[in-house]
Amino acid sequence: MRSRQRMFAAAMRLLLKCLRLGRRRRFKLVRQVEQLWHYGHLCLRSLLYNSFTNGDVVLDSLFEPVYWLVDHVTRWFGVVFVALVIGLTSSIVAIVYICLLPLILQTYTPAWICWHLTYGHWNLIMIVFHYYMAITTSPGHPPQAKNDLTGVSICRKCIAPKPARTHHCSICNRCVLKMDHHCPWLNNCVGHYNHRYFFSFCLFMTMGCIYCSISGWEMFRDAYAAIERMKLLDKERLQVAANQTYYQTPPPTFSFRQRAFHKSVVYLWVLCSSVALALGALTLWHAALITRGETSIERHINRKERQRLQKKGKVFRNPYSYGSWDNWKVFLGVDVPRHWLTRVLLPSPHLPHGTGLSWDLPPCVMEQHAPLLAI
C-alpha cells in the first residue's frame, strides 16, 4: 500500500515538474516573440522616420503609381488633345461660315450684320493668337548655370537650386518658373511666360462659345424641331412602304443638305454650350487666383501655411500679392492706360514683368505692401 502511494506521489511530482517546465518554456517563447516584434518595429521606425511625415505624405506615396501612369499618359496624349482642340474649333468655324453666315447676310439688318462680322472675327483672332502663343511659348525654366542662381530650396528631382515660385513638372521632367499646372490641352506647362496666353485663351474661348450659344438659340430650336419632324416622317414613310398600294404616295422627305444643316446647328449649339459651362468655370477659378496673386500650386501651399500660422496666432500674407487691381495689372502687363487696348483687347506678344528668377516690385505697383508674416 505504501509502495503504491509512493509511486503515485512520484508520478504527480513528475507531472507537476513537466507542467512547470512547459509553462516556463511557453512564457520564454512569448517573451522572445515580443522582443523580436519591438526590435523590428524600432528598426522600421529608425529607417523610415521623418519629422515631416504625415498622412498626406503617406497618401501621396501610395498614389505614386497612379501619378506615374497619369504623367506618362498625359505626356503621350498631349498631341492628341491639341489636335482635338484644333479639330473641334475648326468644325465650329466651318459651320458658322458655311451654314450660319449666309443666313445672317440674308435675314439680318445691316447694323446686326456689322456687329456679328466685327465681333465674331475679333473673337476668333484673339482665340487663335492666344492658343498658338500658349502652346509654342516656353513657360520658362531656371538656367543651367547654377553658379549665379539664387534659390530658396533644392529640387528633389533635378538636385538643383529652385528659385521662388518655381516647381518641378513631372510630365516635362523640368523645373518651371512660376508654375501653375501642366495643361494637356496645350501639351505644355503653364508658367511665367505663357500664363497670360493661357488665361486669355480660356477667356476669349468662353466668350466665343457664349456668343455662339446666345446667337444660335433660335436656330437651335428650329433645327431641333425640324430633326424631330424628320424622325416622324421617316417613321411614317417606313409604315407606308410596308403597306403601300397603287393609290398611296409616300410623305415628302428632307434632302441631305437640309438634314446636314439642321444637325450641324444642333451640334454647334450643344458643343458651344457645354464648352462655355466647363471652360467658364475654369476661367472663373483662374480669375480668382489671379485676383489673389496666386497660382494653382501656391493656393494649396498658402492654405496650409495660413492654417499653420493661424494656430500660432499669426496672420499669413502673400508676398506676391499687391492688391486685387494691381495683381491684374501685373498679370496682364498693363503699365499705362493705353495698354488696356493695345495689350489686352488686341493681340500682343509682350513679355511679363520680371524674369521669373527674382520678384522685384513691378513698376505699375505704386506702393509697397505688407510683408509675408504679420503678428
Phi, psi of 287 (to 5 degrees): -65, -40
**Spatial distance between the Cα atoms of 297 and 283, rounded to a whole number of angstroms:** 16
> CA-based Rg of the chain, rounded to a whole angstrom?
35
| H/E segment holding residue 193 | none
What is the residue whose three cell numbers read 466647363? 278
Beta strand 161-162 with 153-154: parallel, antiparallel or unpaired? Answer: antiparallel
The region that residue 5 occupies, defined by phi over 0 for left and psi between -120 and 50 for alpha, beta otherwise, is alpha
Q: Which three cell numbers stand for residue 253?
A: 422627305
Q: Is 364 a catalytic residue?
A: no
Closest CA to 175 of 157, 149, 196: 157
HEC sequence for 345-372: CCCCCCCCCCCCCCCCCCCCCCCCCCCC
Report the largest interatomic distance among the alpha carbons of the chain, rounded to a whole angstrom.
Answer: 136
- Catalytic option among 99, 172, 183, 202: 183
Buried b vs exposed e over 254-291: b needs ≥16 C-beta within 10 Å? Answer: beeeeeebbebbbebbebbbebbeebbeebeebeebbe
Which sequence positions are flagged as catalytic? Answer: 183
